[in-house]
A and B are shown apart, each in its own frame.
Chain A
Amino acid sequence: MHLMYFTEQPMSAYPEQAGRDFGATALMLSNKHFDPVEGSRLYNNYIEQYMLAEEVGVDGIMLNEHHNAPFCMQAKANIFAALLAGMTKKVKIVMLGNPLPLAENPIRLAEELAMIDMISKGRLVSGFVRGGGQEQLATGVNPAFNRERFEEAHDLVTRAWTQTGPFRFEGNHYQHRVVNPWAVPLQKPYPRVWIPGVISKETIVWAAQQRYPYIALNTSIEQTKKIWELYDSVAADVGYVGGPENRGYLIQVHVSDNEEKAIENARQFRWMQGEFTGLAHPVWSTPSGYGSPTARRAFVEFASGRANNPRGETSFEQQMADLRIIAGTPKTVVAKLKRILEETRPGILALWGNDGRVSQADSLTCIKLIGQEVFPAIREIAKSLDLKSPFEANAPVHLKYSTDLKPRKAAAAE
């Protein structure tokens, strides 16, 4: 079991009322509401949190990035990854991840990641994401080519990492006449790539085809099971058996030494007006061409205010009841996590420990309890359930490095 700590790095000092008055807390909410003095304080708080997380023995620190919004202060995940590469000694630096389509020059991304891997002495996990719709708009990237750019940039980055240069890359979206970066990863064949996601079937299928672990982001137990069903079926098609080493799960968990306080702090998981990524116009979150064409009709109904959010809207209490938010003392939290582990069998688990306006003192207490009490108990449970991480299972980094493939016979179509 690989156990990680995660925070969105909330910009908790933004004036909430300004967002409510404007009617949005993403993309177009003016950055005049961003206070760099508070920003400086908070970035340093987050560094303190990460350093404590390493000290109390977490296996990995999960990083991500978003743009133009208070829910996440990391505008470039590689900046924090580079900091952690130099400041920490043991933890895996798990990037979930770099939004590939936002890269106009994926070779620079490959170089940055290679540097992080070398500086950290091989502790990089280089996850990749498509980036939300708003990220495309915030960076001027064409949402209609999001998936094509994702796959092509992935191809280019992994080739830059593995193929001896110089070589030439002529793609549809990326053309590079000289690919020969003098920074290549320490880990061979290349750093592990994990793929986080929440709604797109296509991404689950793609991850399974690459044999990359898929990290389900705060999905319900039922949704998570469906994700593994699909993943395992694709895995069988391409010739391997999906298992815990292919499965990751991120969940909002706040731990405290006092049940009431834990629940009070856990309410902050809903601090962005109850939405993960804040209030936004639906066409910002899902610009045309970004989503799956199969969801087009349902989406336009929702976007015009004639249907409920297809992602669902649930209350804090319901999310607690569904185990999508867990809060309490270590004992309570471990019991609930045990159920999730039993039902969904992940080999990678990330606890999203603190959000919103939870104080630095309470955040540090949470991290300490996670590292010293929750994770040791989870490790024992994982052992008894045989939940191995990709590291423990020595899983291949990519399908093409597999030595155990037995592709399912093609259906009797021929």
Chain B
Amino acid sequence: MAGVDWTDSTVEAGGIKLHLRRAGPAGKKSRSVMVLHHETGTLDQLPFYDALAAHYDVLVPHHPGYSRSERPAWMRGVRDIAVIHRGLLSDLKIKDAALVGLGFGGWIAAEMASMAPDDLSHLVLVGAMGIKPPQGDILDLAITGYIDYARAGFHDQKAFDRVYGAEPSIDQLEMWDICREMSFRIAWKPYMYSQTLPHLLGAVRAPSLVVWGDDDRVVPQSAAARYVEALPNAKLEIVKASGHCVDMEQPDALAKLIVDFIGRE
């Protein structure tokens, strides 16, 4: 997208070397939006990231242990990642950021929001893990093949092909395995949710937008209602013709929802 210039850097937060991609509209100061990626890691380039960066100062940190960030062997929980990303925002002197959490990243964003309730402008959770769905279960990585799991995130398999290619590369498979290992290290039991998070969300002050694909086969939609109920000021949007990975399957629709929610700058 014209006018979006991404920079890659290695930043240190909490003693961990993190990979950070950052971009924003040229020549003006804009609100910072931190995007928290999926448990499958993240690709470098995504139309969704570009769409947000047309309006905001977008930060995409790779989570510790995922994609290009190093793995801290000591980590034991998803809240540990939330603390590290909180530290990153402080180190970068970013206040009043908006958080956009995608799937597993939604869990991290929700944990971050619960830690300093006054310090976020907006919270956007998209197909967020982190809460035990009242009906159904979160799809189990451990018994699902790499490609089957990634494909389960898409309503339309052609959308998967567009993003990853019909036959994902061995590099991609290897990266999925590395990410999977980290997910096991920090979210094995209970699997991909916290038993305390729903109770902590009552403190969140930021207005929240909960978004779900209408065909999410990874995190049952029942979890969306639970999030909306637990967050004091939240509304729900369902994106049509989308699986779990709304950001990759319906990037424009998701970006529009977020821009409408956070506001144009």
Contacts and interface: CB of A to CB of B under 8 A. Distances in A.
Interface string A293-330: 00011011101101000000000000000000000000
B180 interface: yes
Nearest to B185: A144
Contacts of B185: 142, 144-145, 289
Contacts of A282: 145
Given A142-B185, A145-B185, A281 B177 contact: no
B144 interface: yes
Contacts of A284: 142-143
Contacts, number: 63
A143 interface: yes
B170 A299 contact: no
Given A287-B184, A289-B184, A303 B189 contact: no
Secondary structure of the B side of the interface? helix
A284 B176 CA distance: 15
Secondary structure of the A side of the interface? helix
B181 A27 contact: no
A304 B146 CA distance: 7
A277 to B, nearest CB: 16
Contacts of A288: 141-142, 177-178, 180-181, 184
A36 interface: no
Interface string A126-166: 00000000000100101111000000000000000000000
Given A143-B184, A144-B184, A283 B144 contact: yes
A283 B146 contact: yes
Interface string A266-300: 00000000000000011110011100000011011
B173 A301 contact: yes
27 contacts: A137-B142, A142-B184, A142-B189, A143-B142, A144-B184, A144-B185, A281-B143, A281-B145, A282-B145, A283-B142, A283-B144, A283-B145, A283-B146, A284-B142, A287-B142, A288-B141, A288-B142, A288-B178, A288-B181, A288-B184, A289-B180, A289-B184, A300-B174, A301-B173, A303-B173, A304-B168, A304-B170
A301 B170 contact: yes
Interface in B161-211: 168, 170, 173-174, 176-178, 180-181, 184-185, 188-189
Contacts of B184: 142-144, 287-289
A27 B188 contact: no
B63 to A, nearest CB: 15
A28 interface: yes
B147 interface: yes
A41 B173 CA distance: 45
Interface residues on B, range: 20 to 34
Nearest to B180: A288
A143 B185 CA distance: 8
Interface of B: 141-147, 168, 170, 173-174, 176-178, 180-181, 184-185, 188-189
Contacts of B176: 300
A297 B180 contact: no
A288 B146 CA distance: 10
B143 A296 contact: no
Contacts of B180: 288-289
Contacts of A299: 177
Given A281-B143, A284-B142, 10 more contacts: A137-B143, A142-B185, A283-B142, A284-B143, A288-B142, A300-B146, A300-B170, A300-B173, A303-B146, A304-B147
